[in-house]
Amino acid sequence: MIKTVKNYIHSQRLLKPGNKIIVGLSGGADSAVLLSILHRLGYECLAAHCNFHLRGDESLRDEHCANQWADSLHIPFYTQNFDTYSIAKARGISIEMAARDLRYEWFETLRTQQQADAIAVAHHRDDSLETMFLNLIRGTGIAGLTGIKPKSGQVIRPLLCVSKDAILHYAESEKLPFITDSSNLQEEFTRNKIRRQVFPLLQSLNPSLNASLLRTMEHLIEVEKIYRLHVAEAKATVFNLSDQTIDIQALLASPSPESILFEILKEYGFRKEVIRNIFQAIESQPGKEFYSRKYKLIKDRKHFFLFPLEQKEKKLVFYIEKNEKEITVPFPMNINIRQEKPAIINDKKIAYLDFDKLKFPLMLRKWQKGDRFVPLGMKGSQKLSDYFNNQKLNKQEKENTWILCSGNEIVWIVGFRIGHHFRIDTSSKKYYILKLL
């Protein structure tokens, strides 16, 4: 078994010789075997035990057993106590979810403190099969049917290549001390029901059930690789990462629009149900808003726009001095000052201004509520908010609009329209030309 695990670690590139490892040690057979094998393979191990105080005296017994086993191997032992019930209630999650989160949070803290290379946990092949089946019952995509991953970030699972029976055989033959968790003998949790009720029933229909499921899982792992490749290609066409916009027409032209939308938005915390509602709203009127915990998505005519909820109104201000020829922030723009009257081109990216009417330095800032200006060709002033509405700008476009000011007056709504007072006329003698790049 040691050779099997060693080969698996090598094939999956889980560790390098001499790595320092935080090993999750619960006191059960799985983690006892994991610590034994990694220690015998020559890795520098540190044992880490979580006491969740969920089973009274049994929790203390497990900690004592884990501590004794680590001491017998002369391996440093670390333990952490958690008030799991209170934390689960405060976070609004289940006890099982709280215990899992607390476990990995502390393991990572300990790994950082001890400058370890990895965190090893004792999931085995049967755990992976149960996970696959559990996800199938709940409803899942391809990834959910590929079982437990050998590596997730800094967390590695070297025992995924061996069965529970093999682990117990090793523990008994090596006379390892371990405790049987009483909760594993209870059938109150879904996973235990699958293990103790569903799998035995299915094995009565197919004695080679585990081998069949493993082959299926291996096939799905390869299918997922192909799926990920095509998703990446579609996302590159559909999703503009720099400004976080989704092109609706490009999305609808993809082979599986809803799947691509899901793969884009799940990275921003949107739940499956919300993503389904977003997709169903794809033909609806612009302006609909959808939320995850950290992001807002707005439906426009041609795009979906994403931006962080915590993003505050920007107060950045940039100045343009009289003799500057170009700027690069907040966006690239060329500046040309000339004596001859230019041939005016109808291009919103170019502003033609009377140099003598400007007060330097000019100021670039984001537009603000209450801003007014006199649009070119008009006599009276207009609120920028009204101008934007007339231009049918969406919320994201409004928030991304910059204003060029001379003193307290608006010279140019950048990329849209100049102020009437700063236009070139028959009395102009010097010309100031701005061109967006």
Non-local (6+) Cβ contacts of 437 within 8 A are 331, 332, 333, 334
The pLDDT, as a whole number, for residue 312 is 47
Q: Where are the alpha helices (DSSP H) in 330-372?
A: none
Domains and CATH numbers, the chain: 2-212 (3.40.50.620), 241-308 (3.30.465), 317-436 (3.50.40.10)
The pLDDT, as a whole number, for residue 368 is 85
The pLDDT, as a whole number, for residue 184 is 53
The pLDDT, as a whole number, for residue 314 is 46
Q: Which of 186-200, 278-292, 366-380, 412-426 has the lowest mean pLDDT?
A: 186-200
* pLDDT digits 0-9 by tens, 295-325: 889 888 788 988 887 654 445 678 899 888 8
Cβ–Cβ < 8 Å for 133, 197: no
* pLDDT digits 0-9 by tens, 70-101: 999 999 999 999 998 888 888 888 888 889 99
| Mean pLDDT, rounded, for 59-66 | 90
SS3 88: helix
The pLDDT, as a whole number, for residue 293 is 82
How far apart CA 420 and CA 411 sit, in angstroms, is 8
Percent of the chain with pLDDT over 70: 96
Q: Where are the alpha helices (DSSP H) in 142-297?
A: 164-173, 190-193, 199-205, 209-238, 248-253, 257-265, 272-280
Is the pLDDT confidence value at 225 over 80?
Answer: yes
Beta bridge partners, 406, equal 409
Bond before 257 cis per omega within 30 degrees: no
CA 385, 387, 391, 397 torsion: positive or negative?
A: negative
In DSSP notation, 288-307 reads -EEE-SSEEEEE-SSEEEEE
Confidence of residue 118 (pLDDT cuts 50, 70, 90): very high
Please provide residue 238's backbone torsions phi and psi, each rounded to the nearest 5 degrees: -90, -35
